[in-house]
């Protein structure tokens, strides 16, 4: 398990240090979960409709299977969303920004932008340069735990409800606002995903990646291996 300092733990997806990481695209194909039965998926995110959400890079898929095999009896991983197009990413980012603006009209554009990036990666950065959102690379996965009947276990807040948690109080991976049981489920999931090399985005307990720039930065790799697909 990686031992990250507090500064590294809280670094944002659009941090200049992350954006500076070069990408050596390895052209690995996307695997679509609808072609397999080992990793559960769905129902998809409510809005907007992402018809490609079950796609991810092959190594990401292989690692998910390895992680799932390490889970205690009675638990499985369930994919909420993996691949997301740049068009869809832009819509989601704007929604987040608009919602925050309604709640905090006193904030400047820069403040709203940075606040939005805590939950959604931008398509265009604050300085106007192009970003490569993790979900557009097939490297990022949003996952949670289910029981063997496919029922969602208590992870503190379900992904469908996170838009109501604008402060991120319940979303932060190490949230202290959730029940002891939910903390336990998060710890179980963290352990197996970290063990196979995934990196978590600390403001979202469900968001993990392997091979993108955030992963490279947090795990001290010199370059990322997946760019936008």
Please give the residue ranges that form the binding site for Zn ion (CB under 5 A): 142, 207
| DSSP code, position 76 | E
- Minimum distance between the CB of residue 148 and Zn ion, rounded to whole angstroms? 25
- Minimum distance between the CB of residue 48 and Zn ion, rounded to whole angstroms? 15
Closest residue to Zn ion: CB criterion: 207
In whole angstroms, what is the distance from residue 62 CA to residue 75 CA?
A: 18
- 98, 103, 108, 109: CA torsion to nearest 10: -10
> Tokens standing for 33?
């979960």
- Minimum distance between the CB of residue 207 and Zn ion, rounded to whole angstroms? 4
Helix (H, G, I), strand (E, B) or coil at 170: coil
Return the number of the residue (112 or 141) whose C-beta is nearest Zn ion: 141
Return the number of the residue (118 or 207) whose C-beta is nearest Zn ion: 207
Return the number of the residue (142 or 178) whose C-beta is nearest Zn ion: 142
**Contact indicator for 114, 12 with CB cutoff of 8 Å:** yes
Return the number of the residue (92 or 225) whose C-beta is nearest Zn ion: 92
CA angle (7, 214, 167) in 5-degree steps? 60
Return the number of the residue (55 or 207) whose C-beta is nearest Zn ion: 207
- Minimum distance between the CB of residue 95 and Zn ion, rounded to whole angstroms? 15
Strands 75-81 and 40-41: parallel
**Contact indicator for 210, 220 with CB cutoff of 8 Å:** no
**Contact indicator for 16, 208 with CB cutoff of 8 Å:** no
Return the number of the residue (115 or 142) whose C-beta is nearest Zn ion: 142
- Minimum distance between the CB of residue 209 and Zn ion, rounded to whole angstroms? 8
In whole angstroms, what is the distance from residue 183 CA to residue 11 CA?
A: 22
Distance between terminal CA atoms of the chain?
29
- Minimum distance between the CB of residue 79 and Zn ion, rounded to whole angstroms? 11
**Contact indicator for 116, 96 with CB cutoff of 8 Å:** yes
């Amino acid at each position: 398990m990686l031992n990250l300092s507090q500064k590294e733990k809280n670094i944002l997806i659009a941090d200049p240090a992350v954006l500076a990481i070069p990408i050596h695209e390895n052209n690995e194909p996307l695997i679509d979960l609808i072609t397999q039965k080992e990793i559960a998926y769905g129902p998809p995110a409510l809005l907007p409709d992402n018809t490609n959400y079950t796609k991810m890079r092959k190594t990401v898929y292989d690692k998910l299977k390895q992680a799932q095999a390490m889970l205690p009896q009675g638990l499985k991983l369930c994919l909420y969303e993996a691949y997301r197009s740049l068009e869809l990413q832009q819509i989601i980012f704007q929604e987040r920004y608009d919602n925050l603006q309604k709640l905090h009209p006193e904030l400047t554009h820069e403040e709203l932008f940075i606040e939005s990036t805590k939950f959604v990666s931008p398509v265009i950065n604050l300085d106007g340069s192009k970003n490569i959102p993790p979900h557009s690379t097939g490297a990022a996965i949003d996952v949670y735990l289910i029981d063997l009947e496919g029922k969602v276990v208590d992870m503190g807040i379900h992904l469908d409800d996170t838009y109501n948690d604008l402060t991120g109080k319940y979303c932060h991976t190490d949230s202290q606002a959730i029940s002891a049981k939910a903390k336990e489920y998060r710890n179980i999931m963290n352990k197996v995903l970290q063990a196979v090399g995934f990196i978590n985005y600390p403001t979202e307990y469900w968001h993990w990646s392997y091979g993108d720039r955030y992963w490279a930065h947090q795990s001290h790799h010199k370059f990322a291996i997946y760019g936008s697909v």
